[in-house]
Chains A and B, each alone.
Chain A
Amino acid sequence: MASGVSVCIDIERKAFGHDVLMDGLHLFVPESEVVALVGPSGVGKSTILRMIAGLDADFDGMLRIGGKPQAEAQVPGYVFQDPRLLPWATATENLTIISDNIDAPGARKLLVEMGLAGYEDALPGELSGGMQRRVALARALAVKPGLLILDEPFVSIDRKLARDLSGLIARVIRTYRPTVILVTHDPEDAARLADRVVVLDGRPVEVVEDRRLGVARDLRDETWVREEAQRMVGEE
């Protein structure tokens, strides 16, 4: 796994027709930092992720990942809001199809690491929602990413599954040390996982709060997470 890469976001202007979404948005994420972007729905959090991933190139400005322009940078690991697994391919194939960096034994090992032992040859339709999310996370890791993009990874799953997945993501961060940009609408998720929280709001969007979380991730307990989440809600 590559170590984390820096991400430099300099967006001068991003508009949908006459609707100006961004007008001067600047954000720097150093190597191996976990940044949570929080803010109300429709503020443009997912749009920023799509721009970083190369899915939306229709903007004025510059994006550099690991010091390189987006198109030349290493492929990021992207966990979409929905698992987006190929339903005709097994869990293992879902990993090997997307990357030359991993072979079938490597993919199986990664799936076992994600807690999917015994399900390596299962089709997505045979897996539960939580398992599908784990496969999607394994797929993102299969490209050995320096940058891991998590777009609402806990949306549409129940609290228990979300907590399990959150624990798994924390383990991934600890083990592989990628740079992570996490978009979430739940401040508790941000408080649980992030080193730094960036609160976005307004139209055009602006950074209303950019704060490092003081306590190391492994030392955060649920009381601290709830209190920190409450503070974020107050800031939003």
Chain B
Amino acid sequence: MKARRGPPSAVGRLEWLSLPLLILLWEVAALVVDHRLFPTPVEVFREVIHLATERRLIPDVLKTLSRAAAAFVIAMALGIVLGGLTGRFRAIDRLFGSWVLIGLNIPAIVVAITCYIWLGLTETALILAVVINKTPLVTVTMREGVRNLDHGFNELAQVYRIPFWRRVRRIVIPQLMPYVLTAARTGLSLIWKIVLVFEVLGSDGGVGFRIGIFFQSFDIAAILAYTTSFMAVVFFIEYAIMRPLERKVLGWRPAFRSA
């Protein structure tokens, strides 16, 4: 029997209402407050057009995106390997458990400042700082995934003597994919935030860098224009990459089949 949470079409329609509802609330709030430091969505949209035509916005967004992408790929790769090792081998988990705990809890700003002091205000320092902040989270998620691998499937593979790589590809990876996608999703949201903060601290461009400059002049419309543009990119990644990917690799799960 398939579990259904409600009519899928109705749920789908609600999702499409979500963003317009937020913009509407913003518009109403801006009209009620009626202050130059609280621009309306229309004013922010005009600012987006203005900044884009000035040819500053898109290069800045691309720069931040490239940094986030580099940090994301490195952190995911490292986290998957470390999570796999700590989840599979108790000795490694015990040996490096404290490192992961420190990594999870050390303030991001401390890592950033330390990296900037040691390596200078460089691209490498910024990406390294983001990787150091993000990797423990991926590690912990993947460690849980490896710990939760179904022992029954392991026995199945053992009885039928399924070759190692086929076992990894067809039995282990499908079980880990929910954890990989969770790590990716939480990782992306964390990385955007960290990259922007680190760009404010010290960089030669990017969304965070530019927001830092606008902050000095209290140019709230420009700040929100950059934020809105960046959110548009986030939405594109969510709907054009993450969700289709989830449907493809997790489509077998009851929750996805009934959605």
Residues 154-183 (chain B) with a chain A CB within 8 angstroms: 155-162, 166, 170-171, 174
Give chain B nearest CB distance to A60 CB in angstroms: 21
A86 touches B152 (CB 8 A): no
Q: Does A225 contact B (CB under 8 A)?
A: no
Give chain B nearest CB distance to A145 CB in angstroms: 10
Residues 237-252 (chain B) with a chain A CB within 8 angstroms: 252
A75 touches B170 (CB 8 A): no
Find the A residue at minimum CB distance from B177: A88
A86 touches B160 (CB 8 A): no
Q: Does A80 contact B (CB under 8 A)?
A: yes
Q: Does B153 contact A (CB under 8 A)?
A: yes
Q: Does B8 contact A (CB under 8 A)?
A: no
B155 touches A86 (CB 8 A): no
Find the A residue at minimum CB distance from B3: A125
Give chain B nearest CB distance to A168 CB in angstroms: 21
How far is it, in angstroms, between the C-alpha of A76 and the C-alpha of B159 when the chains are bound? 7
A78 touches B254 (CB 8 A): no
Q: Does B257 contact A (CB under 8 A)?
A: yes
Chain A residues with Cβ below 8 Å from B160 are 75, 78, 98-99, 143
Chain B residues with Cβ below 8 Å from A76 are 159
Chain B residues with Cβ below 8 Å from A78 are 159-160
Residues 85-109 (chain A) with a chain B CB within 8 angstroms: 86-89, 97-99
Chain A residues with Cβ below 8 Å from B153 are 84, 86
A75 touches B159 (CB 8 A): yes
B152 touches A98 (CB 8 A): no
B257 touches A75 (CB 8 A): no
- Decide yes or no: A84 and B174 within 8 Å by CB, A54-B159, A55-B158 being known contacts: no
Interface size on A, residues (CB 8 A): 20
Chain A residues with Cβ below 8 Å from B159 are 53-55, 75-76, 78
- Decide yes or no: A54 and B158 within 8 Å by CB, A82-B152, A84-B153 being known contacts: yes
- Decide yes or no: A75 and B161 within 8 Å by CB, A88-B252, A97-B166 being known contacts: yes
Q: Does A123 contact B (CB under 8 A)?
A: yes
Chain B residues with Cβ below 8 Å from A55 are 155, 158-159
A88 touches B158 (CB 8 A): no
Chain A residues with Cβ below 8 Å from B166 are 97
A98 touches B174 (CB 8 A): no
How far is it, in angstroms, between the C-alpha of A54 and the C-alpha of B162 when the chains are bound? 13
- Decide yes or no: A88 and B174 within 8 Å by CB, A53-B159, A97-B162 being known contacts: yes
Give chain A nearest CB distance to B250 CB in angstroms: 8
Chain B residues with Cβ below 8 Å from A75 are 159-161
Chain B residues with Cβ below 8 Å from A143 are 160
How far is it, in angstroms, between the C-alpha of A125 and the C-alpha of B158 when the chains are bound? 23
Q: Closest 3 A-B residue pairs measured CB to CB?
A: A88-B252, A98-B160, A88-B174
Given A98-B156, A125-B257, 9 other A-B contacts at CB below 8 A?
A53-B159, A75-B159, A84-B155, A87-B253, A88-B174, A97-B162, A125-B254, A126-B2, A126-B257
Taking Cβ atoms with an 8 Å cutoff, the residues of B that contact A are 2, 152-153, 155-162, 166, 170-171, 174, 252-254, 257
Give 10 A-B contacts (CB < 8 Å), ordered by A residue.
A53-B159, A54-B159, A55-B158, A75-B161, A82-B152, A86-B171, A88-B174, A98-B156, A98-B157, A123-B252
